[in-house]
Amino acid sequence: MSIAPDGLPPLREVIARHGLSARKALGQNFLLDLNLTRRIARAAGDLTSVTVVEIGPGPGGLTRALLAEGANRVVAVERDRRCLAALAEIASHYPGRLEVIEGDALALGLADRIEGPARIIANLPYNIGTELFVRWMTPEASGGGWPPWWRSMTLMFQREVAERIVAQPGSRTFGRLSVLAQWRATAQIAFEVNPAAFTPPPKITSAVVHVEPTDQPRDVDPRMVEAVTQAAFAQRRKMLRQSLKSGFADPLTLLAHAGIDPARRAETLSILEFLDLARAASAARN
Ligand code: SAM
């Protein structure tokens, strides 16, 4: 049996031995190149003094890289039972450093299970990636606050989703995800990943996004930021005086208070203007 540089069997052998044929329904596109997974781990920053939360470890390519890059504690949530035996082998190679939770990441209250600073690092299943990201960016929805329970997120997305997250005002891809990601965090694309890096290869290019929370302005209600953003982009081609009607009774007064021309469209607003709009909406409500 051959051995990879981390002292464990090569991933191809692990996959074959445990019968881990990729399942599309579970968003399974595995990364087998330890150089690439180590690059993702390094993009996250120092791993020694945090809990690393990984969603969807699968056969463990990224998990192994996280541990090889010095993570002392990895909590990995995997839905596919077939992967558990392969993950147990990694756990015994790195005693006391890897905890695997079998379950659905959408159903678990992760924030309650993690103590101390955490970094989320994952090659996310594409079908739930955006949903998880929105939840992590809006901790208020599950009783949390800001700063959130995570110190950073380093996540693989479809490139198209990654571009929406980091998009700037005025661009075609600027939208709800961009405002959500950038009004109280920094978001950057760390690097792109070719489809050929995955087994099986997906049809589209992927990209790793790195997000870190910043302080949020004290005088803005996070729920109102979400409410104005959602309404403004509900009909992104329409002028704000029209699109905001989907969430607010009197858009013209709101826009006047925020000092924003009602003929503008959502994608032209800066993040600061969205915050002005949220403040005006909160004032109108009180
Ligand atoms: N981390 C591995 C890698 O990089 O090779 C696998 C990544 S694969 C894109 C996504 C993984 O997420 C799969 O192992 C899949 O079984 C798992 N998964 C899918 N849906 C999930 C869910 N709801 N909760 C937890 N894991 C899930």
Question: Which sequence spans correspond to the domains of the chain?
Answer: 11-213, 222-285
Q: How far is CA 39 from CA 20, 31, 45, 121, 188, in A?
A: 24, 12, 11, 12, 15
CATH, domain 222-285, list 3.40.1260.10, 1.10.8.100, 3.30.450.20, 3.60.10.10: 1.10.8.100
- pLDDT grade, residue 135 (50/70/90)? very high
Assess whether the C-beta atom of 119 lies below 6 angstroms from ligand 1: no
Q: Which fold has domain 11-213?
A: Rossmann fold (3.40.50)
Percent helix, strand and coil across the chain, each to the nearest 5: 45, 20, 35
The pLDDT score that the predictor gives to residue 1 is 67
- pLDDT grade, residue 113 (50/70/90)? confident
Type and span of the H or E element at 233: helix 222-234
Residue 83 has pLDDT above 80, yes or no: yes
Residue 198 has pLDDT above 80, yes or no: yes
pLDDT in tens, 151-179: 999 999 999 999 999 999 999 999 999 99
pTM: 0.95
DSSP helix/strand/coil, 59: coil
Nearest CA to ligand 1 atom 10: 125
Q: How far is CA 21 from CA 14, 18, 55, 89, 196, in A?
A: 11, 9, 19, 18, 17
Nearest CA to ligand 1 atom 14: 58
- Helices in 58-109 by DSSP H: which ranges? 61-68, 84-93
- pLDDT grade, residue 68 (50/70/90)? very high
Can you tell me which atom of ligand 1 is nearest the CA of 57? Answer: 1
Instruction: Say how far apart CA 100 and CA 84 lie, in whole Å.
Output: 8
Assess whether the C-beta atom of 105 lies below 6 angstroms from ligand 1: yes
Instruction: Say how far apart CA 269 and CA 260 lie, in whole Å.
Output: 9
Residue 78 has phi, psi (to 5 degrees) of -130, 135
Assess whether the C-beta atom of 102 lies below 6 angstroms from ligand 1: no
Distance between terminal CA atoms of the chain? 69
Q: How far is CA 131 from CA 90, 105, 164, 229, in A?
A: 29, 11, 14, 17
Residue 1 and residue 13 in contact, taking contact as beta carbons nearer than 8 Å:
yes
